A and B are shown apart, each in its own frame.
Chain A
Amino acid sequence: MIAVRDLCKRFGRKEVLHSISLSMGNGCYGLLGANGAGKTTLIRCMAGLFEPQKGEVLYDNRPIHRLKGFQRDLGYLPQAFGMLPELTLSEMMDYMCSLKGIPRSQCAGEIAKALEFVNLEERARERVRTLSGGMVRRAGIAQAILGDPKVLLLDEPTAGLDPRERARFRNSVRELKRDRTVLLSTHIVEDVDACCDNVIVIHGGRILFSGPSDELREVAVRQAGHKGEKPTIEDGYLCLTKGIA
């Protein structure tokens, strides 16, 4: 559904992404990488916010910059998310509906559904400034799923969430991934372990691994001779990144 072909991104002289190629269908993909690995840059390129120097992002086999409908099918939650504190949550969602071009008649239903999904329906009439940081994060997830997008790019979605909300979020993602592509960028391996069927490991702007979670676990067994308990994704990730080191 969404693919990245030979993608390079440079900021000045610093090359942040080196010839990245990926392909993602329906399901949840965990993008794992250390701070500065290039996760956010990759996600921004995929969201069309950054123009790569080389390569392209394809949606339904067509470059996204030539596709007018791509952004309508995209739900995006950036790493740093905020809202206008003077508006109510409902007004802010309405603001997002306007930006997404969702017809006015559908907005109320879409907003109610999205807020219910993140358990914020009771806060709809409250001003954004009265919401906690975690609630704002959940509202960010809500705005991302407005309009039922086919591709969800979530950059550190669980940052700032309490354990209960993280658990709830993981359950929600399981529900979301059924008929869409979800790319979940994080450095919290447990989240990936819990939600994602596929994992992409990025390190120093290069893809070290891309495949099913089980394969990453196998890496731990193969490379480090992991014995005893069943290896985790974290084990595989560490093996990959240490191996590089």
Chain B
Amino acid sequence: MRLYKQSLSVFLRDRKLSIPYFAVLALVLAMSVYCLGDYSRYGDVFSAVRWWLARPVIFIIAFFIYCGYELTVRMHDNNMVEYVRAHTLGLLKAYSAVLFSLLTIVAVPSSMFFAFFLFLYHRVGVQYAPFLVHLIKLSVLYFGLSLAAGAMLGMAMAARLRSNRLAVYTLTTGFMLLNTTFTDAPFRVPYLVFNSYLVERALYYIKDFLTLVPHQLGSYFAIYPIYGFPMEPVRWVVAVFWVLFPLTLVLVECFTRRIRRALLVASALLLLLGVGLFSVRGSVLAMDMRNDSYPYADPIYYMDRPRQDYAGYEAGFAIEAYRMDLTVSNELHAQVQVTVDNPGREGYEFTLYHGYILKSVRTEGGEIPFTREGDYVSIGGLNGSDTLVFTYHGKSPKFYANAQAITLPGHFPYYPKAGRSNIWDRDRYGYVVDLPPYESVYTVKVRSGLEAFCNLAGGDNGFYGRSNGVSLFAGMYDEVAHGIYAEPMRSDQPTRESILEAEQILTDAFLRVGHPEMVIALSDKKFFQAPASFGLNSNTDTTVIMSDHIVSCYSADAQGLADSIMTSIVRPKSSGDFWFRTDYLSYLLRGQDETSLALHQSEVDTSLLLEEMEEWLLLPDPRANFHDNMTEQEREEFVAAEGQRSELERAVSEKAAKYLFYEAARKQENLRFFFDYFTSESTEDCLQLAITRVREELGP
């Protein structure tokens, strides 16, 4: 106790330590005030905590490395170690005193953060216990253990590197840089040089092991309320490791040879255990610039592979029933039994996302051989059996399932789906929504520490019912109104009124285009608000309507929800129809509201439109001449020609759309005509068709 007091006195009396320390405490107060101000202004608690507390905390960790080092190293600087060691467990006592002093010093800002989080919870006033638990865990992991780990690292460096400040501060700087987004550019260099992501992955792997706080948050990606701040089990492992491992390095210095050897063995085992546990981390929401982080992994995966098109593929069988036993721990572990309606076939094809490692496929007669080819599983005959059991585990970088949250939408093949279907559409840059046209019977059991929400009936993580897709959500997620499931921490939660309003907008549109049979009773379906991350790397699945439920990124914005649903129905024919189709949807869904459209302000100059249409038709498509071995000059010419064509395409599209759907006498017929076109299998070019239609309108 006396040693502890004196060690603490040393810290407080040393101006090089105490003045910066009190400045840091003042900084913590200031950060808290700014965080509160940010929250009061913008209403996004995650963003406020991310910007003002989570991101700067790495600098506070670095400060505690400095404190840990400078407080410990003064025993070496002042030649105390030798005579301290001459006493029974002298160095252990002295280091323990320093350790407890450091923990006291760390405890003050940690307690301030903790108190602030309690206050923040009170201020937010959501009365949502998982959010309170999340904030408490956040304060312990990001603002407690991480700071303690910083102090321990400093202490260990003092014990091992002694007064070699150059080495210590070089390592500290490296550690800090590895905890920031600084690494994004240098880590990409191996790819640019060798055209391989292997080294980048390895570098990020090392970086992850050193990352005490994920600093990428806020640089590129938002915090999604369903997930909150990343606090997967592996992060706790890493934080505890970086507290314990330096501690063993310090202890090694305190004992004589025999115990020292035992401690070295213990620290080596700890290192192995840490790396081992880190290696089986499973599903972690990687939100940075690495090629396998969630926004990039799937696009890169599918872009790098030969194009496969399974549109219109007939499975030749249907799945009547699923019995899904899902265990969600560090990743998804699944045992899925499917019952097929046609057991006499010679072979069966299934689609299962490639991130899931298929361990076995069994029938009642035992294990049967299968072949796995990316997202597809091929098996032979079932030998009279009509059931198959797939056992697999794995993860998707985007549709994750781990100890922190589950976001598994029904349209994503996280369980085997009949036949082969595309998962990613490279032309439209998004996930393909390919739902079975029939319903299956599902029995789902989810083993997880989280309360799962599902479109099927049931509770206590057991669900049963019929649908054409099973969606599972968990985390900071709840039923916010009857039949509406959302992230309670979001300010833009969907409401029954907004869903009804969207339904009305869509109904009006379907009636306008003469398709009353397509009217969707949105309010009859369960509504699952998807995290905003769903829309980040895909523009095709922001809203997915399944037979009994809807999964949508849209929320209180009824118009946005209606737009996104109509977008999923009015499918593009090619990448060239983007502008025309976008304008078409605007006129279809918002055409009545003339004040909302700037285009309404002036009339289309039809003679100019005809001229531009002629010019566009005569303009050769530069893409026809594109090839990989173009010279620099050819490439420049290609870019210029494509830009010119694209500009003209946009102008023609906008004007043609305005004329056809707003000014023309037959505008209702035109809307109807193009609705039929977009929902048909027609392969005709969209803009060509528009030009023909304009010419017909204008007459000879």
**Are A84 and B80 also in contact (CB < 8 A) when A99-B93, A100-B87, A101-B88 are?**
yes
**Considering the complex, which residues of chain A in the window 62-88 have a beta carbon less than 8 Å from any beta carbon of chain B?**
65, 68, 71-72, 74, 76-78, 80-87
**Are A81 and B86 also in contact (CB < 8 A) when A86-B9, A86-B14, A91-B9 are?**
no
Contacts between chains A and B (CB distance < 8 A), count = 75
- Give complex CA distance A91, B77 in Å: 19
Kindly state whether residue B82 has any CB partner on chain A within 8 Å.
yes
**Are A84 and B90 also in contact (CB < 8 A) when A49-B82, A94-B2, A95-B6 are?**
no
Chain A contact residue count (CB 8 A cutoff):
34
Query: B262 to chain A: closest CB distance in Å?
Result: 15
- Give complex CA distance A91, B87 in Å: 18
With a cutoff of 8 Å between Cβ atoms, the chain A residues found around residue B10 in the complex are 84, 86-87
Q: When each residue 1-33 of chain B gets 1 if its CB lies under 8 Å from chain A and 0 otherwise, what string results?
A: 011001001100110000000000000000000
With a cutoff of 8 Å between Cβ atoms, the chain A residues found around residue B3 in the complex are 95, 98-99
With a cutoff of 8 Å between Cβ atoms, the chain A residues found around residue B525 in the complex are none
- Give complex CA distance A104, B74 in Å: 25
A98's partner among B79, B83, B93 (CB-CB below 8 A) is B93
With a cutoff of 8 Å between Cβ atoms, the chain B residues found around residue A84 in the complex are 6, 10, 74-75, 78, 80
Kindly state whether residue A47 has any CB partner on chain B within 8 Å.
yes
- In this complex, the member of B14, B75, B85, B86 whose beta carbon has the largest number of chain A beta carbons within 10 angstroms is B86
- Give complex CA distance A87, B97 in Å: 15
Kindly state whether residue B596 has any CB partner on chain A within 8 Å.
no
Is A48 a contact partner of B86 (Cβ separation < 8 A)? Answer: yes
B78's partner among A51, A65, A77, A85 (CB-CB below 8 A) is A85
Kindly state whether residue B305 has any CB partner on chain A within 8 Å.
no
- Give complex CA distance A74, B93 in Å: 17
- Give complex CA distance A194, B32 in Å: 68
Q: A83's closest neighbor in chain B, by CB?
A: B78
Is A49 a contact partner of B79 (Cβ separation < 8 A)? Answer: no
Is B85 a contact partner of A49 (Cβ separation < 8 A)? Answer: yes
Kindly state whether residue A186 has any CB partner on chain B within 8 Å.
no
Q: A47's closest neighbor in chain B, by CB?
A: B86
Is A81 a contact partner of B83 (Cβ separation < 8 A)? Answer: yes
Is B86 a contact partner of A87 (Cβ separation < 8 A)? Answer: no
B88's partner among A72, A85, A87, A140 (CB-CB below 8 A) is A72
Q: A74's closest neighbor in chain B, by CB?
A: B86
With a cutoff of 8 Å between Cβ atoms, the chain A residues found around residue B83 in the complex are 76-78, 81, 140, 143-144
B86's partner among A49, A82, A83, A94 (CB-CB below 8 A) is A49
Query: A229 to chain B: closest CB distance in Å?
Result: 40
A-B contact pairs, 13 of them (CB 8 A): A44-B82, A47-B86, A48-B86, A49-B82, A68-B88, A82-B80, A86-B9, A91-B6, A94-B2, A97-B2, A98-B3, A98-B93, A99-B87
Name B's A-contacting residues (CB within 8 A): 2-3, 6, 9-10, 13-14, 74-75, 77-80, 82-88, 90, 93-94, 256-257
Q: Nearest 8 CB-CB pairs, A to B?
A: A82-B78, A82-B79, A86-B13, A80-B79, A76-B86, A78-B82, A71-B88, A99-B87
